[in-house]
Structure 1
Amino acid sequence: MQFAFFGSSLVSAYWNGAATYYRGLLKALAARGHSVAFYEPDAFERQAHRDIDDPDWARVTVFQPDAEGLQRSLDAAASADVVVKFSGVGVLDRELEQAVVDMKRPNRTVLFWDVDAPATLDSIFADPADPLRHQIPRYDAVMTYGGGEAVVSAYEKLGAKACLPIYNAVDPATHHRVEPEDRFRTDLAFLGNRLPDREARVEEFFLNPAAKLPERRFLLGGNGWADKPMSSNIDYIGHVYTRDHNALNSSALAVLNINRESMARYGASPPTRIFEAAGAAACIVTDAWEGIEQFLEPDREILLAATGDEVAAHVEALDPERARAIGDAACRRVLAAHTYSHRAEQLEAILEGREALQEAI
């Protein structure tokens, strides 16, 4: 099949947390013999902060974020069998949502693929005039990278013909254990950009535990935190390029995941960071949310924390031997059941009619 994807960026993870997901899934599709094209706007300085060159497994087109640039990309995508509009492109989202659904043909499948379904759904239900509300029933299906039954039910209420989660996963060729590096040695590392519905949870699950454990070292990576008050035992290192993620995950005693508020509320939304860290055999501590056991077993493959105090307790109790055992168990689990090869096979099955989509379109 020929796939055409419209998304935020395949080649840059700068203010673009979905990049790992795009890369893993599209690379796996290409490995299964499919043709992959990705169209992304030149926006938000992403091209100036590229993490990778254009890959050999996808044709990348960077278009100017205006009507002419968009139309050229739509014309180029017209030969595809499957056209996908990812959520959160950042510019021209409304125009793309309309244009892609208008490309629907008897021999062409059009999909809306939501990489932040909790936030999208909250926005739609808060605004009866949201144009996407009226376009969802026209798409052949809505795909999501998380959310479980709560997200599926919400999209079905909006008239989606089908809503099918394709969860985050790991590409073991990209995310794996490496030799530790002194610059990333710490007791607890957290990597995430500063966003409105994340900030309070970062205070609760990271900044407060750090303040309570002044003898421990903490490391904070991501954009936007430079002016945030924090205790002196936190090393803030700014944006961490994807080429350094393995080293960070392999060097810290433990790695913290904090879901944004909306994702935690819906549950069943494991972010890319969990699978990246598990692929590197990191000991992961995560804020507790419903559905985590579908992916990793609590206490054996991942540590759960319902409060910041519980994060602090995990850090105090961990030693290198136990941290390594938990990380190794997580790595074994994701390699066995949660790679992007598994996800690509699932998508292939859906599009070929071996799952619910065929009945819906």
Structure 2
Amino acid sequence: MRFLFYTHSAVSDWNHGNAHFQRGIMRELVARGHEVIALEPADGWSRSNLLAEQGPFAVERFRKDFPELMAVTYDAGFQHESWLADADIVIVHEWTDPELVARIGRIRGRGGDFTLLFHDTHHRAVSATQAIAVLQLEHYDGVLVFGEVLRESYLRAGWGRRVFTWHEAADERLFKPLPEIDRESDLVWIGNWGDDERSAEIGEFLIEPAHALALSGTVHGVRYPPDALTALADTGLRYEGWIANADVPKAFARHRITMHI
């Protein structure tokens, strides 16, 4: 079968954790013999920031780390209809521009010969309902959401025909124990600052205990404000910025404790 994934970005995981799960799903489908193509906006926020920070090297890293994945960029003049005409399954991520979400739905409604699914991996259906309510999903065959609470919210609101819980998971081909790598430090935290939505938790569960216990370790992530960087430096933890997802298992293996907040 031919799968078409509309992603915010498959190439970039800069402040874009959904890329990890989507890459894993696409790799699994390729391994099972399916054709898989990821479509992403050429000027997408995550991709643009990654290129600005890391340069073309980051795109080359993606191609090297995930050679089985095919990512195609689109712009305003992109012929979506011709790509959709050859697809069997189309999965549209919720970071996709609302006008394009509606356009793809209309193509399906006019008799597009493919199964069309909307994929929600965030909490806006609960925390910012208007952002989801304006999406035109009436022609979508189903909605995939990453938690049962979201599924119930979609059903209550009447968004979409059918709604299924599809939990995110780790790519087992990438994330696995690496006992051959020696432990070098105490603690690693890999995560982004996130618009203050978990600032208090980072302080309570990472910065304060690391300082109190005098732990050595590393922090990876992006968008940390100056005061957060100062607080990290005061604990003795090293801040090393963005890390490619393919390097994360090795980073985990080099530390005795991994934090997830």
> TM-score, normalised to structure 1's length?
0.61
User: SS in structure 2 opposite 1:21?
Assistant: helix
Amino acid at match of 2:25: L
Structure 1 gaps, min length 5: 259-361
Alignment of 1:52-91 (within 5 A): 52-53=62-63, 55-64=66-75, 67-68=76-77, 71-89=78-96
Cα deviation 1:100-139 (Å, max 9, x = unaligned) = 21121363211110121x1343212xx389421xx23432
Change (3 A) 1:173 1:46: same
Return the offset for 1:142: 0.7
1:243 maps to which residue? 246
Asked if residue 95 in structure 1 is aligned to residue 99 in structure 2, the reply is yes
Structure 2 match to 1:108: 114
Residues 233-253 of structure 1, C-alpha deviations (whole Å, 9 max, x = no match): 221111112232111111111
Q: 2:126 aligned with 1:121, yes or no?
A: yes
The CA deviation at 1:255 is: 0.6
Say which SS state the counterpart of residue 247 (structure 1) adopts: helix
| Residues 41 and 129 of structure 1: CA distance in aligned 2, closer, same or farther (over 3 Å) | closer
The runs of at least 4 consecutive aligned structure 1 residues that moved more than 4 Å come to none
Letter in 1 for 2:101: E
Q: How many residues align?
A: 241
Q: Which consecutive residues of structure 2, in runs of 5 or more, have no partner in the other structure?
A: none
Contact 1:9–1:40 (CA<8 Å) still a contact in 2? yes
1:17 paired residue number:
17
CA distance in 1, matches of 2:206, 2:260: 10
Change beyond 3 A, Cα 1:29–1:88:
same
Distance 2:211 2:188 in 1: 14
Alpha-carbon shift at residue 33 of structure 1 (Å): 2.3
Contact 2:85–2:113 at 8 Å: present in 1 too? no
Give the structure 2 partner of residue 192 of structure 1. Answer: 191
1:37 alignment partner, SS class: strand
**RMSD, matched Cα:** 2.3
SS in structure 2 opposite 1:238?
coil
How far has the Cα of 1:181 moved from its partner? 5.7
User: Matches of 1:119 and 1:208 in 2, distance apart?
Assistant: 30
TM-fit CA distance, 1:191: 0.5
With normalisation by structure 2, the TM-score equals 0.82
Identical columns (%): 24
Aligned CA distance change for structure 1 residues 106 and 95 (closer, same or farther; 3 Å): closer
Relative distance call for 1:81 and 1:223 in structure 2 (3 A) is same
